[in-house]
Amino acid sequence: MAWARPRGLVRWVAAAAVAVVLAAVLALILGNLPQSAATSTTTPPATSASQTTTTATTPTSTTSVAATSSAKCSGDVLGYIAPTLIKITWDAARQAGLSTGAIQSIGSVEGLRRMQQGAVPDIYGSVDVELLPDIEKLKPRQIFVLGGFSLGVVCRKPLNSPDDLAARTLVLADPNKAPIGYRALAAAWMLKKDGVVDVMTLFEKTGVKYVETPRGVNITIPTALTPTEKVQIAANLDASWSVLESGAADCSFTYLPFVIGKLGRLEKIGETNLWTIYKGAREGKEYYAYFFKGPYSFVQDPPYEIYALFMQGDKVAKVLRVGRFAAFVASFSEKGDCIVDALKKMDLAAYGFIR
């Protein structure tokens, strides 16, 4: 009986020890539960940290995009550009970081034909909005309209009167290759119809035919025009300028942006109901520019239905309605996009465009 209590005491101590161990284990387990909960409550900050990391890497991403863009806007860019748009296109290319060596001055119609045959450039520029549907068929990356502008005449010597124009030797850009050509033919018809001056008769002698209609005129343009004593034929507006510059012709139909590109600063020296008169100089030679007002300027659509019929042999190959001027550029590559983006930031009015 004396040893019974010690054994019970031992059992009690052992049970207590086990309880203490269990309590310690439970405390350890329960002690970890708050840590797990704390981890759960920090999830939003973790997301915020992730956002912060993303934001922190954004400048690196932007720098990469800028570097890629800079890489795209470098090197040569191939362009088929109407002579009127050469100056502004060169300036835009330089601003974009591109070289201008492969930008060709070419009539809008001729440039379109090359593209239809598969020779597509980085950038195409035209002064003829009538060609826009044909360009759209080629699926350009983007199109940007520069605005309208005025038709005029530039001469080596001043004109005494509008009639004096009919007495001068003229140079005409081939209407089969350059819109300035058939615009000049259309203007000649309106000028004669309104009793201003008759240069239409001079153009008829090159093979062009005018047939009046109840609402206007149809102008039939042969595949090849024949030069005469009074009318020289040039491939495009640039070539017309060369003929004028050489003294082989006295006057040439032209556009305001083209003359600005050639002569730079123009001095206004007069104005009549028919035109505004400017004077400029290039390489020591003086030039006198007469820019039409009203319907002859083609800033707005003329009040007549004027159609140009382009012949291929004995058949009509294409018909265009001659309307107002609107110059545009079309991009066909990333380099072309670089030029369009630069043009959008430029002062177009300084180049003679009306928006």
Tokens 């940290």, residue?
A: 49
The alpha-helical segments, DSSP class H, found in the chain are: 4-41, 43-72, 86-96, 108-116, 132-136, 164-167, 179-193, 200-204, 237-246, 256-263, 334-343
At residue 289, the pLDDT reads: 98
Looking at the fold, whether 172 and 313 belong to one and the same domain comes out as: yes
Q: Determine how many CB atoms are found less than 10 A away from the CB of residue 25.
A: 10
Distances (CA, A) of 194 to 154, 183, 281, 324: 21, 16, 32, 19
Looking at the fold, whether 50 and 78 belong to one and the same domain comes out as: no
Q: Determine how many CB atoms are found less than 10 A away from the CB of residue 341.
A: 17
At residue 26, the pLDDT reads: 37
Strand, coil or helix: 295: helix
- Find the farthest-apart pair of alpha carbons in the chain and give their distance in angstroms, rounded: 154
Q: Mean pLDDT over residues 97-116, rounded?
A: 93
What 8-state DSSP symbol labels residue 226? P
Cα 140-146-148 angle, rounded to 5 deg: 125
- For residue 9, what pLDDT band results from cuts at 50, 70 and 90? very low
At residue 65, the pLDDT reads: 31
Looking at the fold, whether 114 and 142 belong to one and the same domain comes out as: yes
Q: What is the CATH number of the domain that holds 181?
A: 3.40.190.10
At residue 6, the pLDDT reads: 42
Single pTM value for the model: 0.73
Task: Output the six-digit token pair for 222.
Answer: 């042969």
Looking at the fold, whether 84 and 9 belong to one and the same domain comes out as: no
Could you report how far apart the first and last alpha carbons of the chain are, in Å?
121
Is the predicted pLDDT of residue 243 greater than 50, yes or no?
A: yes
CA distance 7 to 198: 141
Strand, coil or helix: 196: coil
Query: What are the strands of the beta sheet with 327-331, ordered from one edge?
Result: 103-105, 79-81, 123-126, 327-331, 142-147
Instruction: Count CA atoms closer than 13 A to 269's CA, side-chain side.
Output: 13
Strand, coil or helix: 324: coil
Lowest mean pLDDT among 53-67, 173-187, 213-227, 297-311: 53-67
- For residue 20, what pLDDT band results from cuts at 50, 70 and 90? very low
Lowest mean pLDDT among 39-48, 146-155, 297-306: 39-48
At residue 129, the pLDDT reads: 84
At residue 8, the pLDDT reads: 44
255 burial class (0-12, 13-18, 19+ CB within 10 angstroms)? buried
- For residue 212, what pLDDT band results from cuts at 50, 70 and 90? very high
Q: Mean pLDDT over residues 254-267, rounded?
A: 92
Is the predicted pLDDT of residue 277 greater than 60, yes or no?
A: yes
Domain count of the chain?
Answer: 3
Closest to 77 in 3D by CA, of 60, 104, 100? 100
Is the predicted pLDDT of residue 223 greater than 80, yes or no?
A: yes
Is the predicted pLDDT of residue 323 greater than 60, yes or no?
A: yes
Looking at the fold, whether 180 and 286 belong to one and the same domain comes out as: yes
User: pLDDT tens digits for 132-169?
Assistant: 999 999 999 999 999 999 999 999 999 999 999 999 99
Domain end marker among 13, 39, 71: 71
Looking at the fold, whether 85 and 156 belong to one and the same domain comes out as: no
Looking at the fold, whether 129 and 190 belong to one and the same domain comes out as: no
At residue 42, the pLDDT reads: 31
Strand, coil or helix: 198: coil
Domain end marker among 14, 41, 71: 71
Average confidence score pLDDT of the chain: 83
Looking at the fold, whether 158 and 283 belong to one and the same domain comes out as: yes
Looking at the fold, whether 67 and 77 belong to one and the same domain comes out as: no
Encode burial over 265-294: b for 16+ CB neighbours within 10 A, e otherwise. ebeeeeeeebbbbbbbeeeeeebbbbbbee
More confident residue, 97 or 61: 97
Where residue 219 falls (left for φ over 0; alpha for ψ -120 to 50; beta otherwise) is: beta
Long-range contacts of 199-205 (CB under 8 A, 24+ apart): 199/165, 199/166, 199/170, 201/166, 202/166, 202/170, 202/228, 202/230, 202/231, 203/172, 203/231, 205/230, 205/231
Lowest mean pLDDT among 60-64, 153-157, 303-307, 336-340: 60-64
Q: Which domain holds residue 234?
A: 151-321
Is the predicted pLDDT of residue 280 greater than 70, yes or no?
A: yes
At residue 71, the pLDDT reads: 56
Looking at the fold, whether 204 and 311 belong to one and the same domain comes out as: yes
Domain end marker among 71, 95, 127: 71
Instruction: Count CA atoms closer than 13 A to 58's CA, side-chain side.
Output: 7
Looking at the fold, whether 215 and 285 belong to one and the same domain comes out as: yes
At residue 41, the pLDDT reads: 34
Looking at the fold, whether 166 and 284 belong to one and the same domain comes out as: yes
